[in-house]
Chains A and B, each alone.
Chain A
């Protein structure tokens, strides 16, 4: 032992009367700096459970777990992030990437507990003392891991577009598509909302990998009409896209279109599944719209022999006859149809069931029937003067144009309605040089047409008058017709009900025009179904009742599309066709062979 060791304790004594350097007890807690990365906070109602935080965490510190009181709904998985502080390194990448901005960090950094399990918790889901702290780490202004704005789509200008039927949306280049695909966080929340449940993140990934063949396969798994859908799908997926919380949704529809546009029809065969050997069973499909074609495609893949019957000259149903070429060029519909035909599906055109061929004959000759005949009969306005020459339905005009005829609309047109058919009829009329006014009973926000259609119709010079109710049509003096209409006020109908337009007395106005186009909806025509079969089917407010396999009251008959589905868009019809194909397969293999 050295001398120093013996003396050392005494040297401490010389400081005994000095003021100590240490703080007095109790030690005051010092708050973290304003932007300190302390424990996580999550605004639980704002979070949509997309799991992007889990995906980015390099330490696997985050799990997505169900939280009591949260259920899955469209646009919200119902899951919430749970953090394991045994792994977190407080890098805050999760905060930086969260597309909804719900995730943050408090500046609290002191936490004492004896139970290690406490250090695993759902921020915002389990109450913590720092939940309401305003200080702490948030994503810095101007610093972003995700691109909020979509890559702009090259489009014809409105001056150009209204001159012709050339397709307005021009499609992405490879660079643009890859850049747009790069914005996707691949959460998959959109899959539930897509009526056909397409695996959107997977085909977007195929674009990122520049593997179009893979993309085509994924798309065809759930949708055999993608060239059309990539153009006119109502894109329910985009409304729930996680990125929409941050800025603009991924342009999912156009990315799908990009894949299809890269591959020639002739190359499809090498990429896609081929049909199974024929199993000898025959299915009749009535209607060659999206529902019928989709059922035909999936049934054919399973080995069934398919005959499609269609009353029109060409296949495609409403895709061809209800949507103008500037939105969906006919050759794109043809591309979709042609591939289905190449698989060996027979499509009989110009053949009307109930007129040229009996429904009963089909019923006896085929093993099952799928019908998806759509809504063809336009509703009338139910006002005086409706039968005057010059009053026409929107569908008729679109149909005529598809058939190559020039519609007789004159110089001024009034379109009544607020759906896509109304917008298409209006824009088609613009292309034939007419002045166009659109009358709609409710407000612009209530219009059932797609946002872009409303925007584009106005861009092309159609005048929109909302809260206007047509009253009567009379013969005009200088023009063909005079349409009288009154203004409406929106009357609240209580919670959950949409407000009703009620005519304001004495608000009558008049427009002179050559043509009134009615486009307020249409209904189905079931007259082709004979009574003895029809009595087994159940109809509910004009729609055929079906079960989840798209089977009607008669076990041999399946139905789908607009006649059976309130969503009334192409992709829902396609989903119906797919489900019906599975349903028919189950029905024929399980119940017939035994």
Chain B
């Protein structure tokens, strides 16, 4: 890929993956990512920000941010992946390149706790109001524990453990001797 070769001369980019003929992914370092995205927009015709998202790789202790860009002339998509450590995660904002990016960044801050200093409206509520727990889309957020803590069980609810219930019903006397 010519873009990749040219970019790699100038920036820290690696891992070119051809997902489909019209979809490639490259990985950029945290320091160079915004410059790479901006070069793709200004120089190579990837003028459309299709989406901007993040995945929590808890096992690797990393967040993977993906900028998905589209080139209308070539009908080609390019994903730029940036891997950043999970603690105190911060990333440069790209709202100066695409104003709409601010909304993506606002959502990522709320749902994953990724900070984008300077991004407009970053701390306004996106979907959660009055949320105080850790960001809910982080993989270490325990949904079940949260619902137990937040919502009280309806009175009269009871449940049975299959193994205990079967013991009572199928081998009660053996259970005694055990």
Judge whether A188 is part of the interface by a CB distance below 8 angstroms: yes
When the two chains form the complex, which single residue of A60, A65, A73, A74 contacts B160, counting CB atoms closer than 8 Å?
A: A65
Q: How many residues of A contact B (CB 8 A)?
A: 38
| B154 and A86 contact, CB distance less than 8 A | yes
A173 at the interface (CB under 8 A from B): no
Contacts of A66 in B (CB 8 A): 160, 165
A87:B160 contact, CB within 8 angstroms: no
Q: A60-B153, A84-B154, A549-B177 are in contact. Are A192 and B167 (CB under 8 A)?
A: yes
List which B76-134 residues lie within 8 A (CB) of chain A: none
B140 at the interface (CB under 8 A from A): no
Is B15 interfacial (CB 8 A cutoff)?
no
Partner of B162 from the list A84, A188, A578 (CB cut-off 8 Å) is A188
> Is A54 within 8 A of B147, CB to CB?
no
**CB-nearest residue of chain B to A582:** B177
**B144 close to A60 (CB less than 8 A):** yes
Main secondary structure of the interface of B (DSSP, over half): helix
**Residues in A whose Cβ lies below 8 Å from that of B151:** 59-60, 87
Residue total for B at the interface (Cβ-Cβ under 8 A) = 24
Q: Does B19 contact A (CB under 8 A)?
A: no
A109-B160 Cα distance, complex, nearest whole Å: 29
Contact: A191 with B166, CB < 8 Å? yes
Pick from B160, B161, B166, B177: contact of A583, CB below 8 A. Answer: B177
- B163: nearest residue on chain A (CB-CB)? A188
The answer to whether A51 touches B177, judged by C-beta atoms less than 8 angstroms apart, is no
Q: Determine the distance from Cα of A86 to Cα of B177 in the docked complex, in whole angstroms.
A: 42
Digit string of B165-176 for contact with A (CB within 8 Å is 1, else 0)?
A: 111011101100
Pick the contact of A72 from B158, B170, B173 — CB < 8 Å? Answer: B170
The verdict on A223 contacting chain B, using a C-beta distance below 8 Å, is no
Q: How far is the CA of A586 from the CA of B174 in the complex (A)?
A: 13
Q: Residue of B at shortest CB range from A120?
A: B154
Contact flag A78-B163 (CB < 8 Å), given A63-B157, A63-B158, A84-B154: no
The listed residue with most B CB atoms (<10 A of its CB), out of A51, A71, A201, is A51
Bound Cα distance A411, B178 (Å): 51
In the complex, B148 has a CB within 8 A of chain A: yes
Task: Name A51's contact: one of B157, B162, B169, B173 (CB within 8 Å).
Answer: B162
B143 contacts partner chain A, Cβ-Cβ < 8 Å: yes
- Chain B residue nearest in CB terms to A548: B173
Residues of B within 8 A of A78 (CB): 165-166, 169
Q: Are B166 and A192 in contact (CB under 8 A)?
A: yes
A46 within 8 Å of B by Cβ?
Answer: no
| B143 neighbours in A (Cβ, 8 Å) | 58-59
Q: Quick one: closest A residue to B143, CB to CB? A: A58
Whether B161 and A188, one on each chain, are in contact in the complex, defined by CB atoms closer than 8 angstroms, is yes
Contact status A72-B166, CB under 8 Å: yes
Q: List A33-68 residues whose CB lies under 8 Å from chain B.
A: 49-51, 54, 57-60, 62-66
Known: A197-B178, A548-B173, A548-B174. A77 touches B166 (CB 8 A): yes
Known: A54-B159, A63-B159, A87-B151. A582 touches B166 (CB 8 A): no
User: Known contacts A60-B148, A87-B151; is A189 also within 8 Å of B163 by CB?
Assistant: yes
- Is the Cβ of A77 less than 8 Å from the Cβ of B147? no
Interface residue A413 (Cβ < 8 Å from any Cβ of B): no
Give the distance in Å from the alpha carbon of A483 to the alpha carbon of B48 in the complex: 85
A63 to B157, CA, bound (A): 8
* Alpha-carbon distance A583/B174, docked complex (angstroms): 10
| B159: contacting residue among A64, A188, A583, CB under 8 A | A64
Residues of B within 8 A of A60 (CB): 144, 147-148, 151, 153
Produce 1/0 per residue, A529-547, CB < 8 A to B.
0000000000000000000
Nearest CB of chain A from residue B151's CB, rounded to whole Å: 6
Given A84-B154, A549-B177, are A192 and B161 also a contact pair (CB < 8 Å)? no
**Docked pose: A57 CA to B143 CA in angstroms:** 10
Write the chain A residue with the least CB distance to B177.
A582
The reply to whether B160 and A192 contact each other, CB–CB distance below 8 Å, is no
Q: Is the CB of B144 within 8 A of A49?
A: no
- Distance (Å) between the CB of A146 and the closest chain B CB? 17
A54, A188, A197, A549: which contacts B171 (Cβ < 8 A)?
A197
Task: Tell me, yes or no, whether A285 is within 8 Å of chain B by CB.
Answer: no
The answer to whether A579 has its CB under 8 Å from any CB of chain B is yes
Which chain B residues border A77 with CB–CB below 8 Å?
160, 162, 165-166
Given contacts A64-B162, A74-B170, A84-B157, 17 further A-B contacts (CB under 8 A): A54-B159, A59-B147, A60-B144, A60-B147, A63-B158, A65-B160, A72-B170, A79-B165, A87-B151, A188-B166, A189-B162, A189-B163, A192-B167, A192-B171, A201-B163, A549-B177, A579-B174
Residues of A whose CB lies within 8 Å of any CB of B are 49-51, 54, 57-60, 62-66, 71-74, 77-79, 84, 86-87, 120, 187-189, 191-192, 197, 201, 548-549, 578-579, 582-583, 586
Chain B residues with a Cβ under 8 A of chain A = 143-144, 147-148, 151, 153-154, 157-163, 165-167, 169-171, 173-174, 177-178
> Top 6 nearest A-B pairs by Cβ distance?
A188-B163, A77-B162, A63-B159, A72-B169, A58-B143, A192-B166
Query: What are 8 A-B contacts defined by CB distance under 8 Å?
Result: A60-B153, A65-B159, A79-B160, A84-B154, A87-B151, A120-B157, A191-B166, A549-B177
